[in-house]
Structure 1
Amino acid sequence: MAGKAIAGSETKPERRMRADALRNRDRLIAVAAEVFADQGVEGSLEEVARCAGVGIGTLYRHFPTREHLVEVVYRRELQNLATAASDLAATHPADQALEEWMHRFVNYIAAKRGMAQSLRILLNCNSELFAESAGIISGALRQLMDNAAAKGMIRSDVESTDLLHALSSIYSMPDSPEWRERSRRLIRLLMDGLKWGVKMGPAD
């Protein structure tokens, strides 16, 4: 379910870190997510360290291998995506929460696309990570769809698995400069389809 802590996350070690070390680690993860999304996992670790404002030695103290960094970035992106479902549901109308979460899913896929090669390596030795991620993502989407359907904002006859497959098809789109704009148009089309034939219910 959305917002659920991911098993295997490193919350206990993080609590034991000094404040400055924890800040460095969090900054490295955030910068690595951007670099991997833009350049793939072969993006320069030296650039990650430089943009995070630390030395390369600090990066390797936190993340001994590139694959270790990729896995931690993947977990953080996944946790952010899961938490966003609950946050959006609490702060937006149900249909807007669903659409905004779909856009965030596109950003998640962008990061995952850049990490594809290393993620395939991780899959060979940690298949539980991927089974877990599938459950968290589908649970978050189901929550948002159920909320919107209960309020009469979208159709109730669409399975979350079907919508997730449609969203995941973005992953196979050619990686071009207009990729993000195309993905936005696709999400708009999906939302139009979810609302087709629905008479919007009264606002809460």
Structure 2
Amino acid sequence: MRRDARRNRERLVTEAFSAFVESGLDASSAMIAKRAGVGVGTLYRHFPTREALVDAAYRHELARLRDLASELLLTHTAVEAIRLWIGHFLDHASKKRGMSEALNAVIASGSDLFTDSRRILTDAVGALMAAGAEDGTLREGIGSDDVLLALSGFAQSTGDYGSREQADRLADLLLVGLSTRGPDQG
């Protein structure tokens, strides 16, 4: 793919994700193309169906979240990196809730999006947990799928019945459980 075509595709998936979060399935192709600074024809060349656009936009957001785990580990301790990543995950979960109608349409079309998303996110959590086990700050033997399930539960329940502040407090409690240090040892 040519560099300008890659750039156009990148802008389209970024703007599409934001538009679907804001407007669900009401986000028009024309609006998304305009926000991305391209024509509608360019949008349809890259994404011939609405489902293809939703799928690509969501996968792009997941890839950003996955890549963030590695980036955070370059500049932070494992415990700091996982706490920061959890904050981004909670933001992601909140945005995902906004585009649930669009995601449901993709799933109905036969996409394996949720299986893939679970694998991508589990891999990110796994990298963070492995770094923490290696530096001795996080307990070994805790499955990344267990951590992801806990985080998803926090995000879902506090999104429906609580607040982001409550989700952050629950994430802090989870980190106490994951840490090799006791709660009174910081």
Moved more, 133-142 or 55-64: 55-64
Q: Which residue of 1 aligns with 2:59?
A: 75
The amino acid that maps onto 1:171 is Q
Residue 41 and residue 106 in structure 1: after superposition, are their counterparts in 2 closer, same or farther (change >3 A)? farther
Q: Which residue of 2 aligns with 1:96?
A: 80
Q: Which residue of 2 aligns with 1:9?
A: none
The amino acid that maps onto 1:146 is A
Distance 2:33 2:167 in 1: 30
The amino acid that maps onto 1:147 is A
Q: Deviations over 1:133-157 (max 9, x none)?
A: 3222212212211221332323346
Q: Which residue of 1 aligns with 2:182?
A: 197
Structure 2 matches for 1:142-153, cutoff 5 A?
142-153=126-137
Distance 2:149 2:135 in 1: 24
Partner SS state of residue 182, structure 2: coil
The TM-score with structure 1 as length reference comes to: 0.73
Give me the identity figure in percent. 42
Q: Deviations over 1:13-33 (max 9, x none)?
A: xx2x3x333322211111112
| Greater per-residue helix proportion | 2
Residue 88 and residue 186 in structure 1: after superposition, are their counterparts in 2 closer, same or farther (change >3 A)? same
Residue 132 and residue 79 in structure 1: after superposition, are their counterparts in 2 closer, same or farther (change >3 A)? same
Distance 2:111 2:41 in 1: 30
Query: Does 2:28 correspond to 1:25?
Result: no
Q: How far is the alpha carbon of 1:97 from its aligned partner?
A: 1.0
Of 138, 162, 168, 1:184 maps to: 168
The TM-score with structure 2 as length reference comes to: 0.79
The amino acid that maps onto 1:138 is T
RMSD: 2.9
Distance 2:122 2:145 in 1: 7
Residue 182 and residue 69 in structure 1: after superposition, are their counterparts in 2 closer, same or farther (change >3 A)? farther
Cα contact 1:33–1:73 (8 A) shared by 2: yes
Q: How far is the alpha carbon of 1:95 from its aligned partner?
A: 0.4
Q: Which residue of 2 aligns with 1:138?
A: 122
Residue 161 and residue 20 in structure 1: after superposition, are their counterparts in 2 closer, same or farther (change >3 A)? closer
Of 89, 92, 104, 1:120 maps to: 104
Moved more, 73-82 or 165-174: 165-174
Q: Which runs of 5+ in 2 are unaligned?
A: none
Distance 1:42 1:189 in 2: 38
Cα contact 1:82–1:140 (8 A) shared by 2: yes
The amino acid that maps onto 1:140 is A
Structure 2 matches for 1:35-46, cutoff 5 A?
35-46=19-30
